[in-house]
Amino acid sequence: MRLLSAIAAIVAVVAAFSAADVYAQDDTSAPFGLKWNASSDDIRSIGVNLSPANLSDFGTSYTATGLPKALSDMATVVLSFGYDDKLWRVAALSREFKNDQYGAAAKARYAEIEASLEKAYTAGSKFHRQSTDSYFGKPENFTYSLLKNEASWFSLYSSAAADIELSIGASGTSDSYWRLIYSYRDGEKKFRSGKKDAELDAL
C-alpha cells in the first residue's frame, strides 16, 4: 500500500509539472514552448507555421500551427509581433463546445486550465458574473448570456513579465469556448509606443 501511495504521489507531481510546462516556466518563456521577444523568423526556425491574420490592433499577427507544445483542445493560436518584429502577445482559442447552453463543458475545462495556471503564475482577480436578468440569468441561458455580454467569466494571472487572462466566450446561443491571452508587459509597452509614433507619422 505504501508503494502504491508513493507511485500515486509521483504521478500527481509529474502531471502537475507537465501541465504547468505548457504554459510557461520563467520570465523569458512564453506559452506553448515559445520565447518572448522572438522574431517571426525565430518562430519559423523552430518549425512553427505562420499564416497572416487580420488583427492589426495587436501589430503584425499570424495564426500559428506546429507549436512545440499545445493543449489538446486548442483550435487556434494567434501570435502578435510589435513594430520591431518581437513577439509580445499570444492568444489561444479552444475548439467549440457544441450544445453547451448551460456552459457545463466550458466551465469544466476552464477549471482544469485555471488549476494549472495557478501552479505556474500568481493568481489575480476572478470575475465570475452571471446575469441578473430574468431571462439571461436562467441556467440554461448561460452561454447565450455570454454571447450578449449579459454575463462574464474570466480570471487574471501574472508573472514578473507577463499578464494572462483566461475566459469563457460564446460563438452562438449554445456554443461555447475558452480563450487564453498572454501579454508580455515590456513588449506591449513598446508596441503601444510604436503605434503612437506610427499614427503621428501619418498626420
Per-residue model confidence (pLDDT) at position 14: 36
With the CA atoms of 114, 117, 122 and 128 taken in that order, what torsion angle do they form, in degrees rounded to the nearest 10? -20
pLDDT: which is higher, 11 or 171: 171
Q: Give the tens place of pLDDT for each residue, 41-86.
A: 999 999 999 999 988 899 999 999 999 999 999 999 999 999 999 9
CA distance 85 to 79: 11
Q: Give the tens place of pLDDT for each residue, 22-33.
A: 555 557 899 999
Residues 6 or more apart from 135 whose CB is under 8 A from it?
141
Cα distances from 101 to residues 16, 57, 77, 84, in angstroms, run 30, 31, 25, 43
Per-residue model confidence (pLDDT) at position 22: 59
Flag the least confident range among 54-58, 70-74, 92-96, 151-155: 54-58
| Cell triple for 122 | 500568481
| Cell triple for 131 | 446575469
Instruction: Answer yes or no: is pLDDT of 197 > 80.
Output: no
